[in-house]
Amino acid sequence: MKTNTYLLILLIIFSVCNSVHAQTQKLVFSPHWLPQAQFAGYYVAEEMGFYKEAGIEVEIIHPSASVNAMHFLQSGQADIISLFLVTGLDNRFKGVDLVNIAQFSHNSALMFVAKKTSNINTLKDFKGKKVGIWRSGFEEIPKALIHEHQLEVNWVPILSTVNLFLLGGIDVMTVMWYNEYNQIYLSGLNEDELSTFFLSDYGYNIPEDGMYVLQNTLNEKNDALKAFVEASIKGWQYAAKNRDFTLDVVIERMRQANIPSNKAHQKWMLEKVLELQEPIGQTNLEKPDFDQVHAILKGQYPQSPDIIFEDFFRPIR
Amino acid sequence: MKRNTLSFRIISNILLITSTLFVLIFSVYYFYARNTISEASKVNAIQLAENIEARIEQELQPLEKVPQMLSATIEMGFFHEDSLIHVLQTIVRNNPSIYGACMAFEPHFFEQKGLYFMPYAYRGADGIFSAYLGSETYEYYYMDWYQIPAMLRTPYWSEPYYDEGGGNILMATYAVPVYSNRDNKRVFAGIATIDISLDKLTDLVSSVSIFETGYAFMITRNGVAVTHPDKSMIMNKSIFSNAEEWGAPLLRQIGRELQRGESKFRSYNLPGKEKRWIYYTNLISTRWSIAVVYPEREMYASLTKMNRLVILLFIAGLLLLVLLITKIVNRLASPLVKFAEAARLIAKGNFETPLPEVKTKDEMLELRQAFVQMQEQLTLYIENLKKTTSEKEKIESELRIASDIQLSMIPHSFPPFPDLPQVDLYASLKSAKEVGGDLYDFFLIDSDKFCFAIGDVSGKGVPASLFMAVTRTLLRSIADRHKTPDAIMKVLNKSLALNNDSCMFVTFFLGILNLKNGELFYSNAGHNPPLYIARNGETNFMEMGTSIPLGLNEEYDYSCMSAQMMPGDKIFAYTDGVSEAENATHEFYGEKRLQACIAKNYEANTREIIDLMTHEIDQYVDGYMQSDDITMLTLVYNGQKGKN
């Protein structure tokens, strides 16, 4: 009788564990930067329990100054990360076996900004000027645009802040519309004091945030990844409809991560990021966009074979 | 207090005037106090801000000298690059305010040192530590603290940041470009920095308080809060992000002014918040800004408190004033009530009513004296009045008796001689006063001669009535002896004129009718001529000639006139009370109206004529008080046939 009881208990425990294992698969997701409204949809999906509803357990981790999201992916600390398209493809050129499973952003937020006082009104005025550009990630696209226009500019690599631009150390700054552009505004420069050059207006409307996994992971956790993407879309849709709530969630995440935060900036960011994703729920990467980025990057990797679109973009939905 | 009392009126007037004065004075005081406080607060705020500014500069400026000196000594070639780490350690050790110091060189500045060369010394938990920094993950020359002064070639105070150790210490870095001589050329070598904790500075700013909740805050060049009473603001929010969140463009404007290095004292209103005053100024070294803010309400809080006190005091004072005035007025006016009570009693006839005692020598005393005098006068007057009234009553009763006597002298039973059908007569006398001066009389002298008379004594009242009585008495006695009217008149005149010191007189008409043949002899002494009413209705005033009244001239001879009366003829005799009856407009009734009235009613009998006339005159005067006696007499001669 006693032996039977133990057996029964063991059986129950085993079956419960098994079913949990079968039903809720764990995924670790890392966005490609620190907590901010750029990733609001994922926080909302987690906060609202959309991931749990989809039968997955998602842990969101964030990169730091010393460790980036690519590192998380390669080291296996993260199953899925978000990256700019250009960064994703760049890493593919570098030999990382990653694939894009969903393209969330459909537009470019990249832009140049200059103070009107420096008399820069057209792209041609960039000639001979000091142009700030981030060291990490996606400098290829702005550089491609400037190169296309055959302008000699003095590129100044920047780590992260807009202070050098504010203090007049550089004439032009490469910024994200949803982020640094507003940081400049929130540092006291008025919009009418700035000249802006959206890369999308010059034929470089290259989509940005997309979801990347290693080929292996795609094979192993296909269902979970699909559930993650679906639930994330749901998160973004909910965020679009409940912006105040979303902002509170974002600010709280930033506070927990000890990152300076203010509502004014995050509100701006949320609005712009949502605009860039329009239509929300469409996660296809368009081939022409891929081709354009491929062409831009190809120059840096003349020895590498071409990357096939269908190998790179493996839509999960 | 009753609304119609003297005290109420006095107090309400005083209250009104006092309150108006108070409002006036209070307004002026309030206006000036407000201005003074506003001015004093402004000075206070400016002083506070400038005091902090000075103290912060006092802290920072000596620290700025450290990397500047380091830069200068490096440029002069004092130190070998390998000794720098010791120099930096010494710097940190000797400057408690400095948490870390570094000398970061340009990439590949020393060939043997490679890409990165950045000796760094820092204050740790248990001493001074040092390290060489710079790696693929820490490319220091892209950091703001390096890149900005390197590109701008000027010293640079970084934006504040939390220390890497996670100690939650707010730090800032001061970075100075360093040059070196190479091949006799001055080349840019790198950046020398010190890291300092801002705790001391933020404590300094946070310690400032002005009024109840007024405070000071410090913001960076980018407008980010370094200190703020609301801790969630620090390093999170900027003056510009708050301007966005609160929808307050004014805040953004202030932020931009701060960035331009402007100092200003001004007020501002944020949406949904109370009005505040702010003074802001710039730190020369860091170009951070310091501001002192306080709500306007609090600036005036002391004034509001004072106002409350003043108003309370005023109300209390007013109440006290009301109480005192009520007491004073009541004390002063209380005799008035007693006087009023006394006056009521006096009015009821109690002249001995005791008067309230007045101890003051003022108007109240005068009033009392007036009352005393009034009481005395009233007593006296009433006594006199009583006396005169009783005398008057006596006289009046005597006069009534006199009147009765007078009237009893005159025959007043009609028809007078029922046995004498030849003649009929009716007469009436209505005195204007108790006793009158009119008279009429008739009597038989002998069996055939019928004497009748009417008269009017000058003046009225008792003297006239006495004179009338005398006249009547004399007439009767004289008529016994003399048988013609002129003779009777002459004697009567003589008798009346004799010893007539008071110069009284009487108009008089006397007729003697022969009952047998209707022959009428008559004589007149200044009396109104009677109307002769012929039986055919012809009515005429009788012929009289001129004559004077009786009693004026004792020698006067009165003429005798005659007329033949036919049976049915009438004579209507009257005194001037009839013809001179006055209505309200002082118009006399007049002889014409008299004649017309009689003519119209010539067929009426003796009594009817007089009744008609009486009625006619009553109607004419319409209640207007008559001053003269009204006497009428009608006589009709019926002839001998009446005898049968």
Instruction: Give pLDDT tens digits for B254-269.
Output: 999 999 989 999 999 8
Using CA atoms, how far apart are residues B264 and B281, in angstroms rounded to an integer? 7
- Same domain? For A307 and A233 the reply is yes
CA B171, B172, B174: angle at the middle one, nearest 5?
145
Q: Do B592 and B492 sit in the same domain of this protein?
A: yes
Residue-wise pLDDT tens digits, B505-532 = 999 999 999 988 889 999 999 899 999 9
B176 within 8 A of B193, measured Cβ to Cβ = yes
Q: For the residues B81-108, what does the mean pLDDT come to?
A: 94
The tens digit of pLDDT for each residue in B294-342 reads: 999 888 888 888 889 999 999 999 899 888 888 888 888 788 888 888 8
Please tell me the distance from the alpha carbon of residue B308 to that of residue A150, in angstroms, as a whole number: 77
SS3 B462: helix
Q: Two tokens at A12?
A: 């129950």
A265 has a chain B CB within 8 A of its CB:
yes
Specify the pairing of strand B539-541 against strand B264-268.
unpaired
Strand partners, A83: A210
Are residues B576 and B551 part of one domain? yes
Calculate helix-pair angle for B606-621, B591-600, nearest 10 degrees. Answer: 140
Q: Using CB atoms, pick whichever of B137, B139, B222 lies closest to residue A166.
A: B222
Nearest CA in chain B to A189: B256
CA–CA dist B526, B455 (Å, integer): 10
The pLDDT score that the predictor gives to residue B434 is 67
Confidence check: pLDDT of B246 > 70: yes
For position B124, what pLDDT does the model report?
Answer: 86
> What number is the average pLDDT over the span A276-292?
94
Residue A168 CA from chain centroid, whole number: 29
A201 φ, ψ (degrees, to nearest 5): -75, -10
Q: Smallest Cβ distance to B223: which of A156, A188, A267?
A: A188
User: Could you tell me the CATH number of the domain that includes residue B189?
Assistant: 3.30.450.20
Residues B631 and B504 grouped into a single domain: yes
pLDDT reported for residue B393 = 86
Distance, in Å, from the CA atom of B144 to the CA atom of A163, rounded to the nearest integer, reads 7
CA distance B261 to chain A (A): 13
Task: Mark yes or no for CB contact B144/A159 under 8 Å.
Answer: yes
Is A32 a member of any domain?
Answer: yes
**Same domain (yes/no): A97, A226:** yes
A159 → closest Cβ in B142, B235, B237:
B142
Are B144 and A163 inside 8 Å of each other by CB?
yes
- B323-350: b or e for each residue (b if 16 or more CB lie within 10 Å)? eeebeebeebeebeeebeebeeebeeee
Q: Which residues contact A314 (CB under 8 A, 6 or more apart)?
A: A99, A100, A101, A218
A210-233 mean pLDDT: 95
Which helix (H) or strand (E) covers residue B44, if one does?
A: helix B6-75
Domain that includes residue A171, residue range: 110-202
Does a structural domain hold residue B295?
Answer: yes
- Residues B273, B185 share a domain: no
**φ, ψ dihedrals at A28, nearest 5°:** -110, 125
CB contact under 8 A, B223 and A158: no
Residue A261 sits at the chain B interface (C-beta within 8 Å): yes
Give percent above pLDDT 90 in chain B.
Answer: 41
> pLDDT (tens digit, 9 = 90+) per residue, A78-102?
999 999 999 999 999 999 999 999 9
At a CB cut-off of 8 Å and minimum separation 6, what does B18 contact? Answer: B318, B321
The nearest alpha carbon in chain B to A161 belongs to B144
Rounded mean pLDDT of chain B? 88
Chain A residues within 8 A of B153 when measuring between CB atoms:
none
Q: How far is A164 from chain B (nearest CA, A)?
A: 6
User: What is the spatial distance between Cα A222 and Cα A314, in angstroms, rounded to a whole number?
Assistant: 11
Q: What residues are paired with B443 via a beta bridge?
A: B451
Q: Which residue has the higher pLDDT, A301 or A43?
A: A43
Here the CATH number for the domain that contains residue A135 is 3.40.190.10
Cβ neighbours of B83 (radius 10 Å)? 11
Enumerate residues 6+ apart whose C-beta is below 8 A from A87: A32, A70, A137, A138
Q: Is B198 in contact with B161 (CB distance < 8 Å)?
A: no
A185 touches chain B (CB under 8 A): yes
Q: Is A166 on the interface with B (CB under 8 A)?
A: yes
pLDDT (0 to 100) of residue B572: 93
Q: Which domain holds residue B101?
A: 79-197
A157 neighbors B142 (Cβ within 8 angstroms): yes
Same domain, A240 and A91: yes
**CATH code of B430's domain:** 3.60.40.10
Whether residue B143 is found in the same domain as residue B124: yes
Tokens of B637: 């001669």
Cβ contacts of B244 on chain A, cutoff 8 Å = 186, 264, 267
User: How high is the pLDDT of residue B644?
Assistant: 45
Distance CA B530, CA A142 (A): 153
**B111 and B256 both lie in a single domain:** no
pLDDT score recorded for residue A21: 47
| A4 within a domain of the structure (yes/no) | no
Q: Taking 50 as the threshold, does the pLDDT of residue A280 lie above it?
A: yes
- Which of A186, A258, A263 has the highest number of chain B CBs within 10 A, making it the mutation to test binding with B? A186
Who wins on pLDDT, A19 or A202?
A: A202
Q: What is the four-CA torsion angle of B41, B44, B46, B48, rounded to 10 degrees?
A: -140
What's the pLDDT score for residue B601?
87
**Chain B positions in Cβ-Cβ contact with residue A190 (cut-off 8 Å):** 256
Least confident of A117-131, A276-290, B606-620: B606-620
Q: pLDDT at position B504, please?
A: 87
Total of domains in chain B: 3
**Which of B142, B236, B240 is facing A260, going by the closest CB pair?**
B236
pLDDT at A16 over 70: no
pLDDT confidence band for A159 (50 / 70 / 90): confident
CA A272 to each of CA A211, A249, B344: distance values in angstroms, whole numbers, following the listed order: 19, 17, 99
Of A170, A202, A234, the last residue of a domain is: A202
Confidence of residue A130 (pLDDT cuts 50, 70, 90): very high
The torsion angle over the Cα atoms of residues A34, A37, A38 and A42, rounded to 10 degrees, is: 90
- Which residues in chain A have their CB less than 8 angstroms from residue B238's CB? 186-187, 262
Is residue B138 situated within a structural domain?
A: yes
Q: Which residues of A touch B236 (CB under 8 A)?
A: 260-262
Residues in a beta bridge with B430: B630
Q: How far is B203 from chain A (nearest CA, A)?
A: 21
Mean pLDDT on A191-196:
96
Q: Do A263 and B245 touch (CB under 8 A)?
A: yes
pLDDT tens figures, B265-293: 999 988 888 999 999 999 988 899 999 99
Share of chain B above pLDDT 70, in %: 98
Phi, psi dihedrals of residue B603, rounded to the nearest 5°: -85, -10
Q: How many helices (H) and strands (E) does chain A have?
A: 14, 10
Same domain assignment for residues B445 and B543: yes
For helices A243-256 and A222-241, angle between their N-to-C axes, nearest 10 degrees: 120
Mean residue pLDDT of chain A comes to: 91
Q: State the first-to-last Cα distance of chain B, in angstroms, to the nearest integer.
A: 96
Average pLDDT over residues B579-583: 87
**B458-476: per-residue pLDDT in tens?**
877 778 888 888 888 888 8
- For residue B168, the SS3 value is coil
On chain B, the residues whose CB falls within 8 A of the CB of A65 are 137
* Chain B residues inside the 8 Å CB shell of A262: 236-238, 241-242, 245
pLDDT value of residue B32:
93
Strands, E, within chain A: which ranges? 25-30, 56-60, 80-84, 98-103, 110-115, 130-134, 154-158, 172-176, 194-198, 209-214
Binning pLDDT at 50, 70 and 90, where does residue B133 land? Answer: very high
Which candidate from A163, A188, A267 shows the least CB-CB separation from B159? Answer: A163
pLDDT: which is higher, A154 or B445: A154
Q: Do B238 and A157 touch (CB under 8 A)?
A: no
State the angle between helix axes of B301-347 and B363-409 in degrees (0 to 180), rounded to the nearest 10. 30
Residue A49 falls inside a structural domain: yes
Same domain, A180 and A242: no
Compute the distance between CA of residue A286 and CA of residue A103 in angstroms, rounded to an integer. Answer: 9
**Number of domains composing chain A:** 2
The pLDDT of residue A10 is 52
Residues B84-99, mean pLDDT to the nearest whole number: 94
Minimal Cα–Cα distance from B277 to chain A, Å? 21
Residues forming a β-bridge with B227: B218
